[in-house]
Structure 1
Amino acid sequence: MSLTVDDRLLEQARQGEVDDAAFVACVRDSLPYAWQVIGDVVGRMRASDDGFADNQVPPPDEKARGELLRALASDAMRGALERHFGVRLAFQNCHRVAAFAPGAAGTADRHARFVSPRAQLLNQSPDLIDC
């Protein structure tokens, strides 16, 4: 299961639309490692001059790796995180998360390079074979 959903939030979902803030809180509480990595990347991106930062540190264990994969593989979760943090996220392998500041000079080109097949191939490593 990707998320730990409390009864109130589940009932809200059964009744209709779910508030983004409540969904983001559920993601934060359910996937603390993923939240920490994404929050760190976003913080470093905001502190940079080029509107970009990424994480290149592999997760410490399979549980952490699974959290990051679940958070970024889900369109709903990734979209909610992007809206919450006001960024565009990109993902390579099992751990390389990047944040891009929308509208920053050069961000579109940098994002296009980061998500290109070339970048994916160059980011391969025998250490990451199980990603």
Structure 2
Amino acid sequence: MATTTTTNNATNPNPLPVALFDSLLPKLITVLEEIEKPDGVVTPQARQAVLAATNEFRDALTKAKELATNLPGGDLRIEEQVDVIEMLTELRDRKRRQLAEFSSRTMDAAGPTLNSSSSDSMMTL
């Protein structure tokens, strides 16, 4: 299973195979249609069709749950995710301020050799 996920990650930046999740609802509909057929589950063929559809849905659902559980950060509660996002946002903002400060120090040290248009472009982050 891990090699399949790794292969998907190498070719696709999305770590989740969207097609797997998109297939869940049609598989469930197939199960329901098999159950609601006029024959129902009376004949052995009908029972076999329901069993096959149910197994296919169950297997896809198991794979989807496994992928969702193994997502990076998937073990965090909502509150913990919000805390991580806030911390990363603060870190980003601090780094931007440091970069702007460093940029202004560099321009001050360079003195009049820089024209105003290049100093404006250096301040834009």
Q: Answer yes or no: same fold by TM over 0.5.
A: no
Larger Rg: 2
The TM-score with structure 2 as length reference comes to: 0.21
The TM-score with structure 1 as length reference comes to: 0.21
Which of structures 1 and 2 has the larger relative contact order (alpha carbons within 8 angstroms, sep 6+)? 1
Q: Specify which structure has the higher proportion of strand.
A: 1
